Amino acid sequence: MTDTAAENEAEAPEPEPEPETAYGALVSWSRGQRVIHPTREEWLATAKALLADGWNMCVDVTAVDYLTHHADRDLPAGVEPERFEVVASFVSHLRRERLRARVQVPASDPSIASLYVIYPGTDFLEREVYDLVGITFVGHPDLSRILMPETWEGHPLRKDFGIGAIPVQFKAPSANTHR
């Protein structure tokens, strides 16, 4: 080996390590817990793979609205931040582990496939996200309001939802009040 070849070899940068993946999705870590980042298109296939691999319970489905901060969060390289993020938590009783999934959902099409067909316990969780944040779960058997009145307009946990005041009405104390 010539001196020039040895110098070039010594100066060559080390290749970037391959990003960690699981279930076909990029992985990050948060407070000691593994977090996967599937795309919306991969979401249902990822959930099926999780169930097949022993993640037998989906314990939570929620959503976050990053209206003005969607670019300011910690995501693995290759995951494009969107305004909304659906977050689901899974448990494997055999492994005694938890796993979180974070799926980016664009404001231009706030929808994602429903987990109901795979994890029926997500029924009311998805309805709550739909009701309060306005993300539609495609394929859900009864995507209707669960907390707000049917006549309510809008989704109160969206960051652009106007904050208003609702007058609280108290009853006058009855004459039979004992002291």
Q: Is residue 34 part of a domain?
A: yes
d(CA 121, CA 57): 8
- The pTM assigned to this predicted structure is 0.81
Mean pLDDT of the chain: 89
Q: Is residue 116 part of a domain?
A: yes
* Residues 135/112, Cβ–Cβ less than 8 Å: yes
Q: 126: domain CATH number?
A: 3.30.460.80
d(CA 86, CA 115): 12
Q: Is residue 92 part of a domain?
A: yes
Which pair of tokens denotes residue 12?
């060559």
Range of the domain at 110: 18-138
* Residue 170 pLDDT exceeds 80: no
Domains contained in the chain, number:
1
Check residue 13 and give its pLDDT.
77
Q: How sure is the predictor about 80, in pLDDT bands with cuts at 50, 70 and 90?
A: very high
pLDDT in tens, 132-158: 999 999 999 999 999 999 998 999 999
Q: Is residue 23 part of a domain?
A: yes
Q: What is the mean pLDDT of residues 162-175?
A: 68
Check residue 66 and give its pLDDT.
95
Burial class of residue 83 in the structure, from the number of CB atoms within 10 Å of its CB (0-12 exposed, 13-18 middle, 19+ buried): buried
Q: Facing residues of 85 across strands?
A: 64, 104
Residues 6+ apart with CB under 8 A from 132: 147, 148, 155, 156, 157
Q: How sure is the predictor about 15, in pLDDT bands with cuts at 50, 70 and 90?
A: confident
d(CA 17, CA 162): 46
Q: Is residue 54 part of a domain?
A: yes
Check residue 161 and give its pLDDT.
85
Report how many helices (DSSP H) and strands (DSSP E) the chain contains, helices first: 3, 8
Q: Indicate the range of 65-74, 95-104, 110-119, 144-153 predicted with least confidence.
A: 65-74
Q: Is residue 30 part of a domain?
A: yes
